[in-house]
Amino acid sequence: MKKLLTGNEAMARGAFEAGVHYAVAYPGTPSTEILENMALYEDIYSEWAPNEKVALETAIGASLAGARALASMKHVGVNVAADPLFTFSYMGVNGGMVLITADEPGMHSSQNEQDNRNYARFAKIPMLEPSNSQEAKEYMKVAYEISEKYDTPVLYRVTTRVCHSKGIVTCEDRNQVSYRDYEKNIPKNSPTPIHSRQMRHKVESRMLELADLSEKSELNQVIDNKSSVGIIASGCSYVFAREVFGNDASYFKLGFSYPLPIKALVDFSKSVEKVIVIEENDPLIENALKQEGIEVIGKDVFPYYGEMTPDVIRKSYFGKTLESIEYDESKVVPRPPTLCAGCPHRGFFYELGKRKNTMISGDIGCYGLAFAEPYNAMDMSLCMGASLSMGHGAQKIFNMKNSDMRVVSVLGDSTFFHTGINSLLTVAYNNSNTINVVLDNRITGMTGHQENPGTGYTLNGDPAKEADIEALVRATGIEHVMTIDPNNLEQVKKSLDWAYAQTEPCVIITRFPCVLKKFSDEDKVEFKGAFTEKCHVLDSCIGCKKCLKTGCPALSFIPETKKVVIDRNQCVACEVCAQVCPVDAIEKEVK
pLDDT in tens, 3-19: 999 999 999 999 999 99
Q: Does 31 share its domain with 174? A: yes
Residue 326 lies in a domain: no
Sheet bearing 154-159, strands edge to edge: 45-48, 22-25, 69-74, 97-103, 154-159, 127-128, 256-258
Q: Which of 106, 36, 51 is nearest to 82 (CA)?
A: 51
pLDDT in tens, 32-55: 999 999 999 999 999 999 999 999
- Mean predicted confidence (pLDDT) in 87-109: 95
| Residue 272 belongs to some domain of the structure | yes
Same domain, 17 and 126: yes
In degrees and rounded to multiples of 5, residue 218 shows phi and psi of -75, -10
CATH number of the domain that residue 394 is part of:
3.40.50.970
Model confidence at 321, in pLDDT bands (50, 70, 90)?
confident
- For residue 329, being part of any structural domain is answered with no
275 and 395, same domain (yes or no): no
Question: Which residue spans within 136-224 are E strands per DSSP?
Answer: 154-159, 166-170, 221-223
The answer to whether residue 333 sits within a structural domain is no
Task: Judge whether 241 lies within some domain.
Answer: yes
pTM reported for the whole predicted model: 0.92
Residue 55 shares a structural domain with residue 177: yes
Residues 397 and 493 in one domain: yes
Asked if residue 245 and residue 171 are part of one domain, the reply reads no
Neighbours of 176 (CB within 10 A): 7
Residues 286 and 147 in one domain: no
Q: How many residues are listed for the chain in this entry?
A: 591
Q: Are residues 303 and 424 in the same domain?
A: no
Say if 539 falls within a structural domain: yes
Nearest to 434 by CA among 362, 330, 523, 507: 507
**Does residue 332 fall inside a structural domain?**
no
CA nearest neighbour of 581 among 564, 562, 567, 569: 564
Tell me the average pLDDT of the chain.
Answer: 95
Asked if 504 and 565 sit in the same domain, the reply is no
Structural domain contains residue 338: no
pLDDT of residue 451 exceeding 90, the answer is: yes
Compute the distance between CA of residue 82 and CA of residue 77 in angstroms, rounded to an integer: 9
Same domain as 191, residue 56: yes
pLDDT number for residue 73? 97
Range of the domain at 397: 346-526
User: Which of 526, 549, 570 is a domain's end point?
Assistant: 526
| 83-96 tens-digit pLDDT | 999 999 999 999 99
Number of domains in the chain: 4
pLDDT in tens, 459-512: 999 999 999 999 999 999 999 999 999 999 999 999 999 999 999 999 999 999
Contact 367, 439 (CB under 8 A): yes
Q: What integer pLDDT is reported at residue 411 of this predicted model? A: 96
| Statement to judge: residues 579 and 477 lie in one domain | no
